[in-house]
Amino acid sequence: MKAAVLTAIAEPFVVEDLEYHPPEPGRVLVRTHATPFCSTDCTNWAGKFGKVPPVILGHASIGEVVEIGSEVRGVSVGQRVLVPGTPECGTCYYCAVGRPDQCSELFDNPRGYPVVATDASGTDIRASGNVGGYAEMMNISANQVFVIESDLPSEVLSLMGCGIMTGLGSVFNAARVTPGESVSVVGVGHLVLWAVQAARLAGASQIFAIDPIVERRELAAQLGATHVLDPTTEDVLDEVRSATGGRGSDHAIEAAGPAASQELAVSLARRAGTVVLNGVKELGTTVTLTQTTIAVQGRTIISTQNGNVRMRRDLPRYVSLLESGGLDAGPIITNRYPLEKINDAMQASRELRDISGLLVFDPS
């Protein structure tokens, strides 16, 4: 099966034939339908998150189960499954305390990412994030596949495991926006475009979208932002405060990455407001915050991973929002690529030309 392998940091992906390993007792093989190219993988490609080549990137996907390990229960061959960025093992400390977004199967695995295949020279190839979605096949822990029952196309549902989960989870699970509240969003990429839609569904009366790129601000307005602001030409803090009685917004959601964006998000939230931080620019980046903004003024600063998702609760809810038309994927899918064009997909993501560029796979 073909896979796009990151063979060296900051070198083009190499699309090559790999020999996939048969699934171990607790794993499944999934034939990939579609995988969005995520902007996070531009950072991985550049070596800023510590990935070790050779590795297959792509941390959220969708496909069809083609083989199951001997101990796998609850999923069978032929079922369509979502492969999100987060497993839910159900037995680790974090799953036990209701925080599967921090599941030990993803974060505390001493063996590192799993070896899923071998290349022509016999070298082991690992799957980043336990997924490895930039490939025709995925070898996945049964704890990280979720049967999805919907008539929606895989292209749309492929966005569920990263963008939709993170964007919606930031609003519904982390910020917990309620009707009439105000929300600022910093950095209009795919996560924020889902967050804007979620804030609209939650009944937010004001949604301030902040981004230097005019086309992205326009998309945010199309999907529900009530105000759009250009941080390169406008005093964003002043604008948000003057539109909210001088206070700042009830919630501020950041999904940009740079430390300055997170510092801005903290400033945008009013006293006793909520700040949701998603972005990571590079391992080791530090954020500088004025002490009174975090010690005296009552803000709740929430660090999130994949929208602090609980898959078994959130997946059916979010699928139904897509099915009912409450969420619109149309403007977010900006391109489709065959696997062989993955380097074009990355370039478009790096240059901020794509929101979500999908790698789509031949169903045969």
Residues that bind Zn ion (CB under 5 A): 38, 40, 89, 92, 95, 103, 162
In the bound complex, what is the minimum distance in angstroms from residue 244's beta carbon to Zn ion? Answer: 31
For 309-345, the DSSP string reads: --HHHHHHHHHHHHHTTSS--TTTEEEEE-GGGHHHH
In the bound complex, what is the minimum distance in angstroms from residue 153's beta carbon to Zn ion? Answer: 20
Nearest to 175 by CA among 278, 100, 60, 294: 278
In the bound complex, what is the minimum distance in angstroms from residue 115's beta carbon to Zn ion? Answer: 21
Nearest to 144 by CA among 203, 88, 70, 191: 88
Provide the strand spans (E) within the chain: 2-5, 14-17, 19-20, 27-37, 55-56, 61-68, 80-83, 115-118, 124-127, 137-141, 146-147, 182-186, 206-210, 227-229, 249-254, 269-277, 300-303, 333-337, 356-360
Closer residue to Zn ion (CB): 255 or 266 = 255
Closer residue to Zn ion (CB): 89 or 266 = 89
In the bound complex, what is the minimum distance in angstroms from residue 101's beta carbon to Zn ion? Answer: 10
In the bound complex, what is the minimum distance in angstroms from residue 154's beta carbon to Zn ion? Answer: 17
Closer residue to Zn ion (CB): 35 or 40 = 40
In the bound complex, what is the minimum distance in angstroms from residue 333's beta carbon to Zn ion? Answer: 14
Closer residue to Zn ion (CB): 40 or 144 = 40
DSSP secondary structure code for residue 286 in this structure:
-
Closer residue to Zn ion (CB): 72 or 240 = 72
Closer residue to Zn ion (CB): 35 or 267 = 35
Nearest to 131 by CA among 118, 121, 141: 141
Partners of residue 136 on adjacent β-strands:
none
